[in-house]
Amino acid sequence: MKKPFIITFLIFCSIFTWGQEYTQFFTKEKTVVDTFFQSYLIEDKYRWLEDIDSQETKDWIEQQNTSGKKYLSKAVNNANSRSSIDRYAFSEHHHPKKMGDYYFTYAFYNNISVRALFYQTSLNDYAQILVDPNFISQKDEINLSGYAVSKNSKLLAYQFTRNGSDWNEIKVVSLKTGIHKDDHLTGIKFSGISWLGDGFFYSTVSQNGQFGETRGEKVFFHKIGDEQQLDKLIFERKNNPSASFGYLTTSDERFFILTENVGKKDLVNFFYIDYEAESPTLQPLLTNLTKYNIEIIDSHEGKFIATETSVSNNGSILEIDPANPLKWRAIAHEFSKSLLLNVIPFDDRIVAVYQADQHPIISVLDYAGTVLDNLELPLATSVGGFSGNSYDEELLFEYTSYTIPPNVFKFNIRTFKLEVTKQTTVTFDFENIEYKEVECITKDSVVIPMILVYEKGLKLDGTNPAIIKAYGGFNVVSPPSFDPGIVYFIKQGGVFAFANIRGGGEKGEEWAFEGRGENKQNSYDDFIAASEFLIEHKYTNKGKLASTGGSNGGLVVAVAAIQRPDLYKVVVPVVAPFDMLRLEKFTVGHFNTGEFGTVTDSISFTRLLSYSPYQNIKETVNYPAMLVITSENDDRVPPFNSYKFVARMQSRKAQQNPIILKIEADAGHYGASTLSKKMKKKIDVYGFIVNELMGK
């Protein structure tokens, strides 16, 4: 019964690309016209794909899945990416984190590709399973997304998601017995867990449907043993449902601190409760801040320890006295050429993490600001996952890079002794891989730093395949992380490049501002300039260059491909927003108007229209081969962004290069939760790229 309907619904033809069959679809059009500011009439031929529950959309998805899986299977076989990436991915690595009296670690176990939570009383003890996702649900794909330990180390509250959604639930388990309490909280999204005595703070939000706007955050206190409906409301902003909150309890549990981000006004307010006061109540600390970007991270001797960054400040460490909150003491001033990334306060010392010229630096200071020790790490490496109690002398952290799996170190903040907790093993010669920092110049004469990775001795004559990647948004610093797909690509004679374009946070807030809002086009121009640099300096050529990025990075590579299709042979955008005129209408899109702009303002609207990938596809251009990846439960960037973009790209006679859609089932914005599905996506991405670049 379905076959005649599908034939009228989707017209397709087969063409042969590099020895492979590619099915080109021509998706049915149902044109909707939107009017903006009485003069802009914008057609949307594939709006109907936003109805993900309709049978038409489901049939369309089924056709795309069938064709896409077939094409990717052949590409993976041709490129031999499966066995190679599986081999390079194999490494033994455990990263226990110290919280209270225990060490905790996520790990895959018993050949089941979901992460469980383990715990142990010392690094030398046998780790025992504490939370098994399979016991939460046999039907849903469960991902453990965070946890926090009570100050007395008796209880652990943990968050988990189902099938990739951003919606979380919280449960509580006894650390002494391993038995779960009856507490079960729902309606949670982007929430923290901050313990205070026999309970913890958390937040909920409201949302209309799967992809409705996320609004109306409320902060509650939950007392262990109570039903959720009895939880005490701590704070909400009824007259501004777009406001969002951050909060923490200081390590000594004296203070509760709440940060309110007002939203479109770019104002920040701070409130606090002092539980040593005669009448502990929520009271203002700092209000209507716009010039300063303050983050309070803990307290020390009754005063708050905070970081402050701004367009003119790469990051300083402050002490704020709640009795005199407008007078700040600088513990550590900014460094002009180093960016402050992280601060970990201890009882009598502070550990600060900086980045200078793509090198991480770990500094130990006292509370007077005297630097006691510096540990400088190699180019294009990253450190993270710092853990340790405020009273400890040692902290744990993780060290990694693009081609080096994570290694976990113990660092003594008194003796400054550094040692590996357990040596990580690999199946390839990581010392035979070269890292190089280069600088490319944009059309407005800005210097863009870029990291290149390739095998030592590689002949760089312009014939090598290359992948360029970037993120470039939200003031986010994109640290290197291990990717066996990069190792595989390098072993094929490839060059991997990561460009630190404007919009990202790699060079501070001014760098981010120059690629934000009205300056957003700078991010795309930077990426294009970095791509041209690789070609001009003989690292690759136009027929051998691929680009990829995720989320905002996916938008970057999509815009670059639409604006300069001649530069790229292959493009892989992952969970990217493509229809920028409708992004703010769904889920958390309205939180992102500061980054991109809003269609409610005429000037901002014309900017969005100028680069929105979906609206700028030209009928007569044969764009590069594309693998567009999305997740069916992505409630941050809804998957129909990708559906509509792919439909329009495919439905043009000029498009001869393959446009493939990969939809991850039971997955959200960060992809699938299981190890097998994560590896499958990596194998498909690099298999597709190598197949298209090298014609294997």
Q: Which helix (H) or strand (E) holds 148?
A: strand 142-149
pLDDT tens per residue across span 555-609: 999 999 999 999 999 999 999 999 999 999 999 999 999 999 999 999 999 999 9
The CATH class for the domain spanning 92-238 reads mainly beta
Residue 661 exposed, middle or buried by CB count within 10 Å (0-12, 13-18, 19+): buried
What confidence tier does 72 reach under pLDDT thresholds 50, 70, 90? Answer: very high
Q: Which of 103, 95, 152 is nearest to 128 (CA)?
A: 103
Question: Residue 348: is its pLDDT beyond 70?
Answer: yes
* Gap between the Cα atoms of 450 and 436, Å rounded: 8
User: What value does the mean pLDDT of the chain take?
Assistant: 93
User: Is residue 377 over pLDDT 50?
Assistant: yes
According to DSSP, the residues that pair with 663 across neighbouring strands are: 630
Q: How many CB atoms lie within 10 A of CB 332?
A: 22
pLDDT band (50, 70, 90) for residue 22: confident
User: In the predicted model, is pLDDT for residue 119 greater than 80?
Assistant: yes
* Amino acid 197: pLDDT: 97
- Residue 422: the pLDDT is 82
Contact 576, 642 (CB under 8 A): yes
Phi and psi at 606, nearest 5°, equal: -65, -30
The predicted pLDDT at position 93 comes to 66
Residue 3 has pLDDT above 50, yes or no: no
For residue 559, the model assigns a pLDDT of 98
Which pLDDT score is estimated for 4? 37
Q: How many residues does the chain have?
A: 696
User: Which residue in the block uniquely carries the two structure tokens 């923490």?
Assistant: 248
Instruction: Report whether pLDDT(18) > 80.
Output: no
- Return the pLDDT at 101: 97
Confidence of residue 2 (pLDDT cuts 50, 70, 90): very low
Give residue for tokens 């955008």: 573
Identity at 250, one-letter amino acid code:
T
Q: Which of 164, 208, 170 is nearest to 192 (CA)?
A: 170
pLDDT, average across residues 438-444: 95
State yes or no: pLDDT of 209 exceeds 90: no
Binning pLDDT at 50, 70 and 90, where does residue 112 land?
low
pLDDT in tens, 184-194: 999 999 999 99
User: What burial class does residue 120 get, using C-beta atoms within 10 Å of its C-beta: 0-12 exposed, 13-18 middle, 19+ buried?
Assistant: middle
Strand order in the sheet with 232-236: 194-196, 199-207, 214-223, 232-236
In angstroms, rounded to a whole number, what is the distance separating the alpha carbons of residues 430 and 418?
22
Looking at per-residue pLDDT, the higher value among 472 and 7 belongs to: 472
Rounded Cα–Cα distance for residues 409 and 150 (Å): 25
b/e burial code for range 593-609 (CB count within 10 A of at least 16 → b): bebbbbbeeeebbebbb
Q: First and final CA of the chain: distance in angstroms?
A: 39
pLDDT tens digits, one per residue of 480-513: 999 999 999 999 999 999 999 999 999 999 999 9
pLDDT, residue 453, reads 98
**pLDDT-based confidence at residue 281 (cuts at 50, 70, 90):** very high
What b/e string do you get for 354-393 counting C-beta neighbours within 10 Å, with b at 16 or more?
bbeebebbbbbbebeeeeebebebeebbbbbebbbbbeee
pLDDT confidence band for 10 (50 / 70 / 90)? very low
| Spatial separation of the C-alpha atoms in residues 356 and 157, rounded to whole Å | 37
Give me the residues paired with residue 453 across strands: 435, 496
Dist CA 186 CA 220 (whole Å) = 12
Asked if residue 310 has pLDDT above 90, the reply is no
**Domain limits, the chain:** 2-88+434-694, 92-238, 250-334, 350-426
Q: Where are the beta strands (DSSP E) in 58-127?
A: 97-99, 102-109, 112-120
Helices 2-9/55-79 angle, 10° precision: 80
Is the pLDDT at 245 greater than 80? The verdict is yes
| Mean per-residue pLDDT, 232-248 | 94
Number of Cα atoms under 13 Å in the Cβ half of residue 623 = 27
pLDDT of residue 264: 61
Report the pLDDT value the prediction gives residue 92, as an integer from 0 to 100: 67
Pairing, β 545-550 against β 466-469 = parallel
Q: Under 8 Å CB-to-CB from 215, ≥6 apart: which residues?
A: 205, 206, 207, 241, 242, 590
3-state SS track over 634-687: CCCCCCHHHHHHHHHHHCCCCCCCCEEEEEECCCECCECCCHHHHHHHHHHHHH
Of 216, 203, 291, 290, the closest CA to residue 248 belongs to: 203
Q: How far apart are CA 139 and CA 580, in angstroms?
A: 35
Whether 350 has a pLDDT exceeding 90, the answer reads: yes
Decide if 672 contacts 163 (C-beta within 8 A): no
Q: Return the pLDDT at 114.
A: 79
pLDDT range class, residue 207, cuts 50, 70, 90: confident
Residue 540: how many other CB atoms lie within 10 Å: 26
On whether the CB atoms of residues 341 and 353 are closer than 8 A, the answer is yes
Where does residue 279 fall: left (phi above 0), alpha (psi -120 to 50 degrees), or beta otherwise?
Answer: beta
pLDDT recorded at residue 11 = 45
Q: Which residues pair with 15 in a beta bridge?
A: 22
Q: Does the 2-88+434-694 domain belong in CATH 3.40.50.1220?
A: no
Residue 619 has pLDDT above 90, yes or no: yes
What would the pLDDT profile of 132-176 be if each residue is shown by its tens digit?
A: 998 999 899 999 999 999 999 999 999 999 999 999 999 999 999
- Residue 388 pLDDT exceeds 60: yes
Angle at alpha carbon of residue 574, lines to 404 and 166, rounded to 5°: 95
Say how far apart CA 387 and CA 306 lie, in whole Å: 18
Contact assessment for residue 346 and residue 372, using Cβ atoms and an 8 Å cutoff: no
Q: What is the mean pLDDT of residues 249-276?
A: 92
